[in-house]
Structure 1
Amino acid sequence: MKYNVFGRTGRQVSRLGFGAMGLGGSFGTYDEKELVRSVLHSLERGVTFIDTARNYGESERILGLALREWRGEKPFIASKIQSRGPGNIGWGIPIPVETAFPRGWLRESTEISLRELGVDTIELMQLHQYWPQWDSEDYWMEELLELKKEGKIGAIGISLPDTRHDIALPIVQSGLIDSVQTVFHIFDPQPLDCLIPACVRNNVAVIARCILDEGGLTGYLKEDTVFEDGDFRKSHFDYMPRSVYIERVDRLQEAYIPKYADSLAELAIKFVLQHPGVTTAISSMHVTKFADENIAAAGREPLPEDVFEDIRRHHRWVRNFYESKYWL
């Protein structure tokens, strides 16, 4: 496992992080004991960064069970304030910050997270959705700074709601935040254009998420793949006919596998980790087999620079599935 310094915190974190959304049932139903074991297994393999959220169902509680069993050094825990907005409308279309995060709610949500996780400090607290319109209000940042002063959180970050990466540029340049979490994968390399370079200049950590495009960049998706009710991916791949997605995946396989990676998932992980400005990239590792494969991929040699640039330029396929998922 390779490690990076997490922005201004000075803490070292693994370049591949444990995305804990899967602990809450977002990708299907799993036995709780197996989920706890997946966390412990990843920690044993050198993962030191775990990203969860109040909005991920039972994720914080299950992660808390694992942390109580863990006997090694405490990992770097990142969580997110739960939005109070109606339904999920705040993901696709901006809503007022007073609606998403009313006064006092950031503290209340953080206190719940601390209890569920069973810790005294959460190393990073993020807004689970962020819109630049909110910068005209300062109370939410003041609440987070107060929590930081009290030692209940260690750093402050934002998580972007969809693929409009550049909305974070003003707050990145403001010096007020320690990290940005954003969608970043082979089909959407847009963070490389402006956001990541801006974060590097301002010493803001970058957390890349959806690095396997909800699993699509593993090659597992078929025309007849069925997702159970409650699975986050149920509508993700039906933004358009699946054949369109599968054809794009096949094109990647033909061009780069096995010459530059043993699997499509390895190619996708190596692509995201290529730029040194990516502090950590999170992947759902609630299944130990996938955790082992992803951790192994993260430790392999990087792509040749010309191959990286070829993928970046010729396989770019930006689409915002939130338009069909949340814009009813």
Structure 2
Amino acid sequence: MKYNAFGKLGTEVSRLGFGAMGLGGVFGAHDEKELIRSVLHSLEQGVSFIDTARNYGESERILGLALREWKGEKPFIASKIQSKGPGNLGWGKPIPIETAFPQGWLRESTEISLRELGVETIDLMQLHQYWPQWDSVDYWMEELLQLKHEGKIRGIGVSLPDQRHDLALSLVQSGKIDSVQTVFHIFDPLPLDCLIPICQENSVAVIARCILDEGGLTGFLREETEFGEGDFRKSYFEYLPRSLYMERVNRLKEAYVPKYANSLAELAVKFVLHHPGVTAAISSMHIPRYADENIAAVDREPLPEDVFEEIRQHHRWVRNFYETKYWQ
């Protein structure tokens, strides 16, 4: 495993992090004991960064149970405050900050997270959505700074709602936050254009999410693949004919696997971690054998610079699959 200092906070974190969304059942039902074991397994392999959220069902509670069993060094825990907004909850289009995070809610949600996780301090608390219109309102940052002053949280971050990567540039440059979380993968390398280098200039950590494109960049998707009710991927991969997605995936396989990576998933992990401005990349590692594949990719030979640039320029395929959820 490789490690990075987490922005201005300075804490060393693993470059590959445990994305705990899968603990909440969004990728299908799993036995709770097995989910706890998956967390412990990743920690044993050197993972020291875990990202969860109030909005991930039972994720914080299950993670808390795993942390009580863990006997090693405490991992860096990041969580997110759940929006109270109605309708689309502000994911697809902006809503007022007073609707998404009314006064007092940031503290209330944080207190719930602390209890569920069973910790006294959360290393990073993020807004689970962010719109730059909110910068003209002061109270939400003041509430987060007060929580930081009280020692309930150590750092402040924002998670961007979808592929609009540059929403937080002004906030990054303001010096008020410690991290930005954004979608970043082979098909969507746009954070490399502005967000990642500007975060790097301002010592703001970058958390890359969806690095395997909800699993699509593992090559698992087939025409006959079925998803159960409640599985997040059911609508995600209905955005366009699956044959188009599979064709894009096959192009990557034919060009770069096994010459530059043992698997498509390894190629995807290597691509996202290639830029030093990416502090940590999170992947759903609630299934240990998949976790092992992703973890192993970190220590393998990095992509040659020319191959990285070739993938960046010739395999980008930017589209917002979340539109099937919020713009039906």
Structure 1 CA distance for aligned equivalents of residues 283 and 168 of structure 2 = 22
Matched ranges for 1:36-185 at <5 A: 36-185=36-185
State the Cα deviation string for residues 173-219 of structure 1 (Å, max 9, x = none): 00000000000000000000000000000000000000000000000
Structure-2 residue corresponding to 1:242? 242
**Which moves more between the two structures, 292-301 or 24-33?**
292-301
CA offset at residue 325 of structure 1? Answer: 1.3
Post-superposition shift, 1:89?
3.9
Is 1:89–1:327's contact at 8 Å kept on the other side of the alignment? no
CA contact (8 A) 2:60 2:113 kept: yes
Q: TM-score, normalised by structure 1?
A: 0.99
Deviation track 1:17-65 (CA, whole Å, cap 9, x = no partner) reads: 0000000001000000000000000000000000000000000000000
> What displacement does 1:301 show?
1.3
Per-residue CA shift, 1:131-175, capped at 9, x if unaligned? 001001010000000000000000000000000001111000000
Alpha-carbon RMSD: 0.6
* Aligned amino acid, residue 49 of structure 2: F
Contact 1:89 1:326 (8 Å CA) reproduced: no
Query: Share of identical aligned residues, percent?
Result: 81
Q: Does residue 203 of the first structure (1) align with residue 185 of the second (2)?
A: no
| Pairwise CA distance, 1:324 | 1.9
Q: Is the 8 A contact 1:199 1:205 kept in 2?
A: yes
Deviation at 1:106, TM superposition (A): 0.1
**Which AA in structure 1 matches 2:99?**
T
Judge conservation of contact 1:166–1:194 (CA < 8 Å) in 2: yes
Secondary structure of the structure 1 residue equivalent to 2:4: strand
2:266 is matched with: 266
**CA separation in 1, counterparts of 2:312 and 2:22?**
28
CA distance in 2, matches of 1:17, 1:244: 30
Contact 2:182 2:209 in 1 (8 A): yes
Distance 1:294 1:89 in 2: 32
Give me the whole-angstrom Cα distance separating, in 2, the residues matched to 1:87 and 1:210: 24
Deviations 1:214-247 (A, max 9, x none): 0000000001100100011111111111111000
- CA distance, structure 1, for counterparts of residue 10 and residue 275 of structure 2: 20
Q: Match of 1:238, SS?
A: coil
Question: 2:321 is matched by which residue type in structure 1?
Answer: F
- Does structure 2 retain, via aligned residues, the 8 Å contact 1:107–1:147? yes
Note the residue ranges of structure 2 that are not aligned, 5 or more in a row: none
The alpha-carbon deviation at position 88 of structure 1 amounts to 3.0
Name the SS for the 1:28 alignment partner: coil
Letter in 1 for 2:8: R
CA positional deviation for 1:298: 1.3
Quote the offset at 1:81 in angstroms: 0.2
1:292 alignment counterpart = 292
Instruction: Confirm or deny that 1:314 pairs with 2:314.
Output: yes
Aligned equivalents of 2:253 and 2:65: distance in 1? Answer: 39
- The answer to whether the 8 A contact 2:89-2:100 is kept is no
Paired residues, number: 328
Provide the residue aligned with 1:283 in structure 2: 283
Offset, 1:10: 1.0
CA distance 1:152–1:89, shift in 2 (3 Å): closer
Which residue does the alignment assign to 1:186? Answer: 186
Give the alignment's TM-score, normalised by structure 2. 0.99
> Which position in structure 2 is the counterpart of 1:31?
31
